[in-house]
Amino acid sequence: MARWGIARRFDIRVQPGFGVIALFTFALLYLPIVTLVVYAFNGSDSLSSWGGFSLRWFADAARNSSVQDAALRSFIVAVLAASIATVAATMAAIATTRTAPYRGLGFKYAFINQPLMVPEIVTAVALLIVFSRVKVWTGYSGLGYLVLAHTAFCIPFAYLPIRARLEGMDSSLERAAADLYATPWMAFRRVTLPLLRPGIIAGFMLAFVISLDDVVITEFVKSGGQDTLPTYMLGQIRRAVTPEINAIATAFLALSVLLVTVFFFINRRKA
In a domain, 215, yes or no: yes
In a domain, 22, yes or no: no
Tell me, what's the pLDDT at 269? 58
Mean pLDDT of the residues in the chain: 82
Q: Greater confidence, 220 or 175? A: 220
Tell me, what's the pLDDT at 5? 45
Residue span of the structural domain in which 252 resides: 65-270
**pLDDT per residue over 150-189, tens digit each?**
998 899 999 988 888 888 777 777 778 776 777 778 878 7
In a domain, 241, yes or no: yes
In a domain, 201, yes or no: yes
Cα→Cα distances 245→43, 44, 102, 172, 235, Å: 13, 13, 51, 52, 11
In a domain, 114, yes or no: yes
Lowest-confidence region among 75-89, 194-208, 229-243: 229-243
Q: How far apart are CA 165 and CA 185, in angstroms?
A: 19
pTM: 0.81
DSSP state of 103: T
Please, how many CA atoms are within 13 Å of residue 42, restricted to the half-sphere of its CB?
A: 21
Give, in degrees to the nearest 5, the angle at Cα 185 between 163 and 162: 10
In a domain, 7, yes or no: no
Tell me, what's the pLDDT at 83? 94
In a domain, 242, yes or no: yes
Residue 77 has pLDDT above 90, yes or no: yes
Banded model confidence at residue 267, pLDDT cuts 50, 70, 90: low
List helix spans (H) across 113-242.
114-117, 120-138, 144-168, 172-179, 184-187, 193-212, 216-221, 229-239
Tell me, what's the pLDDT at 266? 64
In a domain, 50, yes or no: no
Q: For residues 218 and 73, is the Cβ–Cβ distance under 8 A?
A: no
CATH number at residue 163: 1.10.3720.10
Number of domains making up the chain: 1
